[in-house]
Structure formats: C-alpha cells, structure tokens
Structure 1
Amino acid sequence: MTPSPWSGLLRGVAAGAAGTTALNAVTTLDVAVRGRPTSDAPEQVVAALADRAGVEVTERRLAALAPLAGAATGVGVGAAAGALRAAGLRLPTAVGGPLLGLAAMVASDGPIALLGVSDPRRWTAQDWVTDAVPHLVYGMTTHAALVAALPDPGPPPRAATLLRAAALGAASGSRSTAGAAAVAFTSSRADRGVAGRAGGRGAGVLAGVLSAGEAVADKLPSTPSRTAPPGLLPRAALGAGSAAAVARRDGDDATLAGVVGLGAALGAAVLGVRTRAAAARRFGSDLPGAVAEDVLAALLGWLGARRR
C-alpha cells in the first residue's frame, strides 16, 4: 500500500528528529574532543530575527530558542523528505543521505549569511568541515530512518527510464511542445495515464500543428526569451509532464522521471540560449543554430518517447 503524503510527512518528522539528535551528538562530541567553544551563531540568528520583528528577547530565552530553532530546521527538512518519499521520490542512500545533509546545511547556514551573522565565504576549510560533517551525519541518519519507516514499494526506476526522461525534458526545454508532441505521436488510447488521453489521431494532429507553429515563432525577433518566466515555466511543466507520462505508460515510477524531466528542461532551456548565441556569432545569423535545435529537439523527443 502506498503511504499518503500526510503519512510520509509525519514519518519524516520522526526521521528528522532522529537526524537532529545524531547531529547534536556529533557536534557535542566534537566540542568535547577538540575543546573548542560552542558556536553562538544560532543565538545570533534568533536575536537578529527578533530584532527585525521588533520583539525583545532575554538572554535566557535566546539560549532556549536557539536549540529549538535548530530542531525545527532538522524536523522540517525531514518532514519535506518524508512527503517526497511517500510521493514516490526514492533515492539510494549514497545520494539521498548527502542531499538531505546538504539541504539541512543550506537551511541552517542560509539565515546566518542572509542576516549578516557570518560570511561563509570567509570560513576556513576547518570551519566548513566542522559544519559539514554533522550535517552529513544528519542526512545519513534521517535517510536511514525514512527508509525504515517508508520502505520501497517496488524497484527503483531503471536507468533507461531516467535517460528517456532526461531526453524528453531536454526536448521540451528546447521546444516547449516537443516532448508533449512526441508522447502524442507514440501513444495510443489503450495506454495508461496521460499518455492514453494524449494518444490518438486528433491529439497527434494538434500536437503537430502546435509544434510547427512554435518552430516558426521561435525564429521571430519579437519572440521573448525562453529563460523569462513566461517561457521557462511551460517548458519545465511540459518537460516534467512528458517524462512522467511516458514512465507511467511504460509501467515505471513516474515521480522521479518527472523530476529528471523538469531538471533537464530547465538546463536545456538555458544551455540552448547560450548555444544559439554562440552559433549566431559563428555564422552571422541565428537561423543555422535555430534549425539545428529544431532537429535536436525532435530527435530527443523521439528517443525519449519511442516504444520499447
């Protein structure tokens, strides 16, 4: 049975609490072994936030609120990870653990930098190690607790599925309709999920017309930049949706495929702009690069959506 997002969130809270306990234990052990002073950055962050809010906080309350803020950060990251895992995003420990540690590190160090408490750019290598190791322990502990609380309901997506998702995402990042059109051209009404609804002759004709229109509009000087929100957001959504639709159609996990498609769409959109600019400088015209991108988007869409 697939757990609900709320169940995942609650189990993530417990996993985050376990990770926070491990982080605090490692930090305390480091202080005891090296005899270094404890960091007052958490208290300074709370004091800065209170000052901006116009609230007066006594030193005793600062001493109590700082650990609570740290615990809230750890529990919050764990809760988010639990909800994502319940939704189907399952990463191996070698990847998920460090990513959770990095997320907690950003959540902790971000306010320190933004509020001017400390400048991470001036930290020494030892400072970074002192900060990174406990957060890595947090990430590994939290991920292990999540795996125990939310075991995998099935095998992870195959590498081929993720490569196809990346191809569809990149196609959508280059031409927003390329991925969706490829899904429509290669699917039928008998397929599962969105692919089945997008399949059929009518959907294929519509997808072809939209793709042709975009190919023409892409070369007009008045067309806005694809990296602006109106151009980037549809590419991201269609890249994720196309990748997830094909994964579901083929019986694979759609969540991680959608995430890969989203990332590939964003990356291809930005990279495409830079590549087109370089080609325009090389050939003295934007047309050669634009046509090459048309062909590449169509090829990537076909590779990502073709039937196995």
Structure 2
Amino acid sequence: MTSLLTGLLRGTAAGAAGTTALNVTTQADMALRARPASDTPVETVSALADRADVSIPGRRRERRHRLEGLGGLAGTATGVAVGGVGGALRSAGVRLPAVIGVPVLGAAAMLASDLPTARLGLTDPRRWASADWAADVVPHLAYGAATHATLAATFRADEQAEPDRRPATLGTLARAAALGAATGARSTFGTAALSWRARPGDRAPGGLLAGRFGRGAATLGALGEAAGDKHPAIPPRTAAPGLAPRLGLAAVGADVAACRDGHEGGPGVLVATAAAAGAAFGGQHLRALARDRFGTDLPGALGEDALAALLAWWGAGRSAG
C-alpha cells in the first residue's frame, strides 16, 4: 500500500495539474465570450480579512492588486488541497473509476470554492442563471478530469504491484463503520484498538503497530485525548482543525484493517469516513443535550468514551477467514 505521505504528495501534484486545467478552461471561456474576470475571489479574500480583523496594507489601487493576488493564491491552494485529499484517499485504497471520480473531484473543488462565498453572503447559487452555472461547472469538470487522470497515472505502478485482495463483505464494512464512528468520537481510539489487535506478522503497516513503541504511542495518545477532551478550551470537533484528522485517521484505520485481513480497502474507507463524520457531529449534539439536562456535559463525555472504546475494539477485530 502506498504510504499516506506519498499519496498526499502525489495528490498535491495532481491538484496542481487540475488547477492548471481549471484556469485554462476559465480563461478560454473569457476569451470566447469576452466576459470579464470574476470579482468573487477578491471579494471573498476581502471579506475574510475583515472578519479576521486583518488589514490589507496600501492605498485603494495597491490594496486591490494585493487582493487580486491573494484571491488567485487562495484558488490555487484550494485546488491543490482538494487534490491532496484525493491522493491521500487513493493511497488508502479509495479508487473510483473515471466516470465517478471526475465529477466527484470536480464537485469537491467547486464546493470548497463556492461554499465560503455563499456563507459570506457574496453570492447565492439559487439565483444563478444557466450561463453562470456553466461558467462554474465546466472548469471544475476540467479540474476533475485532469486531477483524476494524474492520480491514476502516478498510482498505476504501485496499484498493479499490489497483491490481490478479496472483495469487502458486509462484516468488514460493519467493522469499518464501527472503527470510523469510534474515530469520529475520539480520533485516537481507533488507532489504539488496531495496535492492541495487531500481530507482528501482519501485513504492513498493521504489523508496525504491534510493537511496544506502536502500542505505547497509540495508547498514550488515546489516554491523553480522553483526558483533554473534557477541557472547555478544546475547540469543537466539527471545526476543520478537529474534523479533518478524524476523517483522515478513520480512512487510514479502515484501510489498515482491510489490508491486514486481505480485503479491498476502498469500500471500507468510504464507510469509515462517513461514519466518522456522523459520529463527530452526532456526538457533539448529544454532549450538548447532556449539558442542558445535567448542567455539565461530563456524563455525556464519559458515556461517549465508553461507547467509542467498545466500537473501536470491535471494529479493529479480525474478519473470519
């Protein structure tokens, strides 16, 4: 299996290729229809700077030029980041065919670009005309096509060299869902459970978790998170800094378990990632209900600890055969 870091690096390169395709398609549309460049990137960066109380230096024209540069950089960073996530997921075994992968990657880049502007009140997609949708959808489909093609090309040699895996079963998907839900509630519990279930002879990287260092580090991480989770200064898990590692660790954990048992990892990775997102949001909601009922969310947090530990232990179990 390709390492997560290698997948991330390949994904960023693929995202850069996709961003180039998006920019070329957009500029070709501007040249053909003689339409002006969109002011949305500039307005988005300006609104975000105002919300963060960050001053963009310079006079009016200088400030405008800086905002244009920052808007372009933000768009490039978005495309590269989406590609990086796609590469990381592919390294974890998520291999979608082009007919699915191209629109999924394009939609992800489009959502990452349009959602912030909509949340800031700078645009309302519900009021877009057909030409507006075409001007946004077509370049993002070009992004998806270039990104998917680059990912497929850079991963082809590794994927052909991998040993055949058995198709995922209902049992392996159920365990992946449990492992993902546990990781969504406590990001390190799934890794800790996998380390205690691992054996020295397991396929890499599962066997690495069976050593003293792997188990010790995973256990300390889980205990530290269980203690720190109750501190009021900890940011909400549904914010990007808390949610992103949960989704990533859920995907990696599900693929590690599938690789260990000789099953295809892609379906389990998708199930685990969805379960992690659901558990992250659902757990936060239940904690809020406990706070309203008891005046503190400690009972809900302790109950969540126990449930996450049980789900992680069962989810990390080995499939029959």
Same fold (TM over 0.5): yes
Give the one of 83, 94, 111 matched to 1:81. 83
Cα 1:301/1:266, change in 2 over 3 Å = same
Map Cα deviations across residues 99-141 of structure 1 (whole Å, 9 max, x no partner).
4323543566579779x9x821386131652443323432443
Tell whether 2:221 aligns with 1:224: no
Q: Which runs of 5+ in 2 are unaligned?
A: 47-54
Cα 1:156/1:180, change in 2 over 3 Å = same
When Rg is computed on C-alpha atoms for both structures, the one with the higher figure is 1
Tell whether 2:182 aligns with 1:171: yes
Q: Which amino acid aligns with 2:142?
A: Y
Q: Which amino acid aligns with 2:83?
A: A
Determine if contact 2:11/2:151 at 8 Å carries over to the other structure. Answer: no
Cα 1:26/1:148, change in 2 over 3 Å = farther
Q: Which amino acid aligns with 1:129?
A: W
Instruction: State the TM-score, normalizing by the size of structure 2.
Output: 0.58
Q: Which amino acid aligns with 1:138?
A: A
TM-fit CA distance, 1:268: 1.9
Instruction: State the TM-score, normalizing by the size of structure 1.
Output: 0.60
TM-fit CA distance, 1:202: 10
Name the residue aligned to 1:182: 193
After superposition, residues 1-308 of structure 1 pair within 5 angstroms as: 9-10=12-13, 13-25=16-28, 31=33, 38-42=35-39, 45=42, 52=56, 54=58, 73=75, 77=79, 81=83, 84-85=86-87, 88=91, 90-105=95-110, 119-121=122-124, 124-126=127-129, 129-143=133-147, 145-146=149-150, 149-150=153-154, 152=156, 153-154=159-160, 164-176=175-187, 178-199=189-210, 223-225=230-232, 228=235, 232=242, 236=246, 239=250, 242-251=253-262, 264-265=275-276, 267-278=278-289, 289=300, 293-294=304-305, 296-308=307-319
Determine if contact 1:183/1:305 at 8 Å carries over to the other structure. Answer: yes
**Number of equivalenced pairs:** 291
Cα 1:26/1:275, change in 2 over 3 Å = same
Q: Equivalent residue of 2:231, what SS?
A: coil
Name the residue aligned to 1:34: none
State the distance in 1 between where 2:284 and 2:202 align.
35
Determine if contact 1:11/1:149 at 8 Å carries over to the other structure. Answer: no
Cα 1:226/1:90, change in 2 over 3 Å = farther
